[in-house]
Amino acid sequence: MAPTKRSRASTGTDAAKKQAEYKRRRKKDQDYSKHAFLDASATVHAGLFAARRLPEIKSLWRGLVDDAIESGSSGVRKVGHSGGGKISCRHLRRRTGSHRPRRRHRFPRGDYGRKTSTDDDGLEIDSEPNSVDVEVLVSRSNAIASGNENADSKQPSTKKRQNESKPRCRRARRKPALLKAVHSRWWSPSELHPNPTYVAENHKWLPTHHWHTKRFHIASLFGWIVPLVHCNRGSRASLRLARDRCTIQDATWEISGCALVLRVGTDGNSTNPVLHVECFLRRICGSDSSVLTDEKVLCGDKLGNGLVYEIDSFPLKLVGPASFLFARNGDSRSVSIMVHPSICSKVQSLLETLISDSGGSNTSLSVKPVSLLRIRGSSSLSTLVDVLSMESQMLMHSGENIEADIDSDTISNHGLVVSFETDQSSTQWKRLSCGGYFSSDLNPNNITIQCQQPNGHVFGKSLPHNAACSGFDIFCHPSMASSLFQAFVMKGACAIGLTEDARAQNEAVPPLPVFPRDFPDTDIGRCYWELSRTEREQDEYKSFIDWIVVRTCLEAPSGRMSTSLKWVLKHHSEQQKKSTVVHQCEAENNSPQELLVRRVKTLGQSYSMIQWNGLIPSFQSDDISVLCVRGSFCDPFLAILRNYGKFKSCHSDTTKKHKHRRQYNAIVKASRLSKSQAEAHFSLCNNLLDALSLPAVLRCEITCFGKGTLEPGDLLFPLENIAAANGGSENKERDSMAPLGVVAAGAFSPSRGTYYGVGFVGASRFIEALMHCTVDGMGMKGIDGCPKMMLKVHLRKVSPDCAGRQALLSLLL
């Protein structure tokens, strides 16, 4: 049926209406996208209007603040400062009624310069604000924590308060001024190292505590409130950010917020104080320590990293790693020692013992509060120069630029120290001699910058593996740490925590050691891996529980932290009040593998409990602890691994014409040794095995060969033993094999493209594996251009049902 004229007219009208509606909507959308100054349109979109006005408001606000800072006005700085007493809607208001009707309500104020007095009833009355008196606040906070509410009362002692036993309300207990005064007492040198008490109210706060609590998972560890990992970002994201930008970490807690200053003076004799300092350190660091052999470290030009042992016990009885910074102060010489909080009291007692043995006439030990900020990443140098220039304007009201003082050529060496101070007369940053902050008295206007370029990393020119662990360390007074930290964040630095920092050190080439995970020969390292308290921690039970939280962070996946961390933190807070923790073993067996690694369940999660004596066949006694081989002592083991096989690098001769070259870091199979070379290699291994008289273990790096993953607690076996066990008729042979080593850390490495980790192998079993294996050598060209030999091993879990993988093993110094 053909359409009529009326139907055709209606169809045309509908099409015209649709086209008009389309044009109207399109014009409306175009009006939204116009960037008019007044947004003069028929309709105003609230979201777009606010988004356009927000940058203008920010620019006006920043200009106003900058003008006020330059003029020295303090009124603008207090704009937006809340003193309490906000008026809110009725349904949002908290209950303000008290169970005591006579108590007059007082809102807590943000400024802690308020003076209080008491009336006849013992109630506090606010007076006009005055200068800050921290001592009064600390005494009042101690009275609040102990429940004594008459500590500030001026009435006679015979008159007691009627309701003295009742605690104060929550608003009075949580006044910001009192909380900050209680948790920041470590800023005072006299309060740095009291007797260790693990009361929740006395935990130390970082200078950036309030900034981290809103963005990070935090936990109370070793008497500190420690930021663990970002709530909305994992460790893999921080590695990506470090390649183009920089990261910042408030690592004040890792040095226990202080430096142990050992000062040696002169008594008028010709005795050199430098020799006295070296004599002290030689007894706890060893005569071969790099701290005592490097002239730049002894002069104070560089910061030295070494190890601390028990007195006259080198190389046995290791305590832990430490950083040393020498300084000159007149005729006396001093050295500042910074260590982990778990061993700080131990090192302090060792130094006091040395002073008492020497007589202590011209030797003193003091404690100085120090904050540590770590700047890492490719753009750390440019960001540091920019931030310090801005900080000179904010702190000293000056526009001077110190970019000329910080030169990339002068601080490109690893460990080099440069100090700056603020001169009140000239109002600018002035460069000092090396170690200026530590050589002078407590001065909040001094900062010390130390360059960190491990593994020979050069900014923008070296491998991207080391970018996340290369940068600068800033040592300053705690009063300056918060402003410096926020300035770096405003300049684009990404804040990181404990988890991201450990992942960056594991990503380096070669990986950097992490305390106490890579120190199984220390008491703290055994407590970390064996999940048991040490002998000197009978009264410090909480330290044992803290290491479980640290293991959860280090062994977590590289993405966002899952609910496992929240579950552990929940159990951690509950178990702090108890005296025992139940370990549930998932398997009970007496095989060599079960004696070395055993899966246990504690705090709701499963962990690998490692008994390091299981790697030493001739030292099965629990009284003997293992010894990790480090430094020059690793040279004999590296020599037998290097002579294990031979291969010719494809880049050894570039003049000859040949086929297309393989990749620079390609892994190739090493060729077998000749008969004479094999006999010489066997004799060398046999002599080294006979000379080994200590229960030694070797730190090694492990790379997955092919498919597979790496997890802490995985066992390493030689390939020939696995082949012999697979050829047997019984599976008991596989269970009875003694493992070569165990994996301590493993994760996917973005820069390597495969799973990569760190492990430990028994020295005697490693030598035996090289003596008998003849076909498992692999070679590659190292980062420094020298050939690098690796041993192919078999990798599997404790459970025999899990599938095995193959990995490549090489030693670390």
Given 484, 507, 530, which residue is the final one in a domain?
507
pLDDT of residue 783: 52
Q: Which residues of 579-616 are buried (b: 16+ CB within 10 A; e: fewer)?
A: eebeeeeeeeeebbbbebbbbbebbebebbbbbbbbbb
pLDDT of residue 78: 45
Least confident of 328-332, 408-412, 616-620, 641-645: 408-412
Q: How many helices (H) and strands (E) does the chain have?
A: 24, 28
Higher pLDDT, residue 746 or 106? 746
Q: How far apart are CA 511 and CA 231, in angstroms?
A: 26
pLDDT of residue 456: 66
> Which residue segment(s) compose the domain that 176 sits in?
110-150+169-183
Is 270 a member of any domain? yes
CATH classification at residue 404: 3.30.1360.120
Stretch 26-52: mean pLDDT: 65
On the question of pLDDT at 612 being above 80, the answer is yes
CB 454, CB 470: distance < 8 Å: yes
pLDDT of residue 152: 44
Q: Same domain, yes or no, for 715 and 594?
A: yes
Q: How far apart are CA 453 and CA 409, in angstroms?
A: 13
Total domain count, the chain: 4
Q: Same domain, yes or no, for 399 and 346?
A: no
SS3 content of the chain, % helix, strand, coil (to 5): 40, 20, 40
Q: Under DSSP, is residue 74 helix (H, G, I), strand (E, B) or coil? A: coil
Q: What is the pLDDT of residues 482-519, one digit of tens each?
A: 989 999 999 889 999 999 999 999 999 889 999 999 99
pLDDT of residue 564: 75
CB 758, CB 744: distance < 8 Å: yes
Stretch 682-694: mean pLDDT: 89
pLDDT of residue 75: 44
pLDDT of residue 621: 53
Q: How far apart are CA 258 and CA 240, in angstroms?
A: 32
CATH classification at residue 303: 3.30.70.1400
Distance of alpha carbon 147 from the chain centroid: 36
Is 782 a member of any domain? yes
Identify the CA nearest to 30 among candidates 18, 46, 41: 41
Least confident of 152-161, 275-284, 798-807: 152-161
For strands 332-339 and 318-329, give the pairing.
antiparallel
Q: Residues 284, 286, 291, CA angle at the centre, nearest 5°? A: 95
Q: Same domain, yes or no, for 632 and 708?
A: yes
Q: Same domain, yes or no, for 550 and 575?
A: yes
Type of residue found at 35: H
Q: Same domain, yes or no, for 695 and 580?
A: yes
pLDDT of residue 295: 87
pLDDT of residue 405: 45
Least confident of 230-239, 282-291, 453-462: 453-462
Stretch 18-36: mean pLDDT: 68
pLDDT of residue 445: 77
Would you tell me how many other CB atoms lie within 10 Å of the CB of residue 6? 8
DSSP string, 251-309: -GGGGTTEEEEEEE---SSS--HHHHHHHHHHHHH-TT-HHHH-HHHHHTSB-EEEEEE
Is 67 a member of any domain? no
Higher pLDDT, residue 54 or 37? 54
Distance of alpha carbon 404 from the chain centroid: 31
Q: Which residues of 727-753 are buried (b: 16+ CB within 10 A; e: fewer)?
A: eeeeeeebeebbbbbbbbbbbbbebee
Q: 206: pLDDT confidence band, cut at 50, 70 and 90?
A: very high
On the question of pLDDT at 581 being above 80, the answer is no
Would you tell me how many other CB atoms lie within 10 Å of the CB of residue 353? 14
Q: What is the pLDDT of residues 357-379, one digit of tens each?
A: 887 667 888 899 999 999 999 88
Q: 715: pLDDT confidence band, cut at 50, 70 and 90?
A: very high
Higher pLDDT, residue 126 or 515? 515
- % residues pLDDT > 90 (the chain): 21
On the question of pLDDT at 729 being above 50, the answer is no
pLDDT of residue 124: 42
Is 313 a member of any domain? yes
Beta bridge partners, 629, equal: 698
Q: How far apart are CA 436 and CA 653, in angstroms?
A: 51
Q: Same domain, yes or no, for 635 and 768?
A: yes
Stretch 276-290: mean pLDDT: 87
Q: Same domain, yes or no, for 579 and 445?
A: no
Q: How far apart are CA 614 and CA 741, in angstroms?
A: 9
Q: Under DSSP, is residue 455 helix (H, G, I), strand (E, B) or coil? A: helix
pLDDT of residue 246: 92
Given 477, 507, 537, which residue is the final one in a domain?
507
State how far the alpha carbon of 570 is from the alpha carbons of 227, 546, 566, 604, in Å. 16, 12, 6, 10
Stretch 207-213: mean pLDDT: 91
Write down the residue that tokens 């209606």 correspond to: 10
Q: How far apart are CA 324 and CA 306, in angstroms?
A: 8
Q: Same domain, yes or no, for 624 and 749?
A: yes
Q: 166: pLDDT confidence band, cut at 50, 70 and 90?
A: low
Ranges of beta strands (E only) in 74-138 are 116-118, 124-126
Q: What average pLDDT is seen over the chain?
A: 74
Q: Residues 256, 261, 262, CA angle at the centre, nearest 5°? A: 135
Is 428 a member of any domain? yes
Question: What is the pTM for the complete model shown?
Answer: 0.74
pLDDT of residue 730: 43
Given 354, 369, 384, which residue is the final one in a domain?
369
Q: 44: pLDDT confidence band, cut at 50, 70 and 90?
A: confident
Q: Same domain, yes or no, for 114 and 249?
A: no
Higher pLDDT, residue 730 or 337? 337
Q: How far apart are CA 546 and CA 541, in angstroms?
A: 9
Q: 197: pLDDT confidence band, cut at 50, 70 and 90?
A: very low
Q: What is the pLDDT of residues 433-453, one digit of tens each?
A: 555 556 555 567 788 888 888
Rg of the chain in Å (alpha carbons) = 32
Stretch 339-349: mean pLDDT: 93
Q: Same domain, yes or no, for 416 and 527?
A: no
Q: Same domain, yes or no, for 677 and 733?
A: yes
Q: How far apart are CA 555 and CA 561, in angstroms?
A: 11
Is 488 a member of any domain? yes
Q: 88: pLDDT confidence band, cut at 50, 70 and 90?
A: very low
pLDDT of residue 737: 77
CB 118, CB 159: distance < 8 Å: no
pLDDT of residue 619: 54
Is 483 a member of any domain? yes
Q: 131: pLDDT confidence band, cut at 50, 70 and 90?
A: very low
Is 101 a member of any domain? no
pLDDT of residue 497: 94
- Sequence-ordered list of residues with C-beta below 8 angstroms from that of 169, at least 6 positions apart, any chain: 98, 103
pLDDT of residue 202: 64
pLDDT of residue 154: 43
Residue 419 CB burial class (10 angstroms; 0-12, 13-18, ≥19): buried
pLDDT of residue 429: 63
pLDDT of residue 47: 82
Q: Same domain, yes or no, for 249 and 262?
A: no
Stretch 615-632: mean pLDDT: 75
- Sequence-ordered list of residues with C-beta below 8 angstroms from that of 812, at least 6 positions apart, any chain: 510, 511, 634, 699, 700, 701, 758
Peptide bond into 315 cis (omega under 30): yes
